[in-house]
Amino acid sequence: MNDLRFGLVGTGYWAQETHATALVATNGIELTSVWGRNADSAATVATRFDAEAFSDFDEFLDSVDAVSFAVPPHIQSELALRAVTAGKHVLLEKPIATTLAAAEELVAAVEKSGVSSMVFFTLLFDPRVRSIVADAETANWSGGNGLWLGSALMDDNPFNTPWRHEKGGLWDLGPHALSVLWRTLGPITDVDAVAGARDLVHVTLRHEGGASSTASMTLQASDAADGFSTLLWGPRGRQPMPVDDVDEGTVLQVALTELVANAHAGVGEHECDVRFGRDIVKVIAQMEAVLAGKAATK
């Protein structure tokens, strides 16, 4: 079975230290091509990982079978649409877009083209989390709580980027918090949200089957408070989830391996495919609308 030729879209810290590193370490993949919005940066990354840099995106797509994206979500959704339309398999970051319309358009394109898609919901590829998810129906959890305190917007943080300043913790940390609560407590059916200081958001969720949960998230916590936690509770007692010590590179290799297997088998569906990515965007967009409505009535 031939290796899939992968292209990397993105040249920043996450693109290099996580995506590129995982791509070159994963069996069945050859990292052949790099594209970035800055041609000089693309050339630097390509040299580091023994790949070819491209300045023209269509030429980049012609050189690969699949694309791994590590760019801001509003840019990702536009470029991924072009990649999928060109028949390329895609590994997407979360959120897959910053509007429901863009997410829906991407889902429609994937379904039309028949390519395989994977969204890197980091925690859902960790074997410890997967074990808890697999046992969720038996455990019959009553509820859960997530506390996501990030310090990404500190000056010296490599994730201090413009899109995170614009969209805040709701869009950056929300996919992490919501994905594990969705998978352990059931699909999210109703939401409410309250804004705190700066980008702090507190949300309450109802799930199919009657469970409920809460989550709080911000990107502007102090370094001393920085950290993530999620706790499930129910008839068995309490179940803390290992959300703060996941090895991102290792679990990305799991996601890539499963994407490659699906691509070779002609399988278009996965529990973390673009459809689930769209579902999470829908919930976040609902929260954003709730917050905007409350702000308008003040």
Is the pLDDT at 108 greater than 80? The verdict is yes
Is the pLDDT at 196 greater than 90? The verdict is yes
Determine what percent of the chain is predicted with pLDDT higher than 90: 96
- Which residues lie closer than 8 Å to 147 by C-beta, 6 or more apart? 215, 216, 227, 228, 229, 230
Residue 97 carries which side chain, given as an amino acid letter? Answer: A
Same domain membership, residue 63 and residue 161: no
- pLDDT recorded at residue 77: 98
Same domain membership, residue 265 and residue 117: yes
Q: What is the mean pLDDT of residues 148-163?
A: 92
Q: SS3 of 167, please?
A: helix
Is the pLDDT at 298 greater than 80? The verdict is no
> Residue 59: which pLDDT band, with cuts at 50, 70 and 90?
very high
Average pLDDT along the chain = 97
> Residue 154: which pLDDT band, with cuts at 50, 70 and 90?
confident
Place of tokens 């805040």: 168
Domain CATH number, residue 17: 3.40.50.720
Angle at the Cα of 193 from the Cα atoms of 188 and 197, rounded to 5 degrees: 140
Same domain membership, residue 168 and residue 116: no
Q: Which domain holds residue 262?
A: 4-122+248-272
- pLDDT recorded at residue 297: 87
Q: Examine residue 207 and state whether it is found in any structural domain, yes or no.
A: yes
Our CA dihedral for 78, 215, 148, 143, rounded to 10 degrees, sits at -110
Same domain membership, residue 106 and residue 252: yes
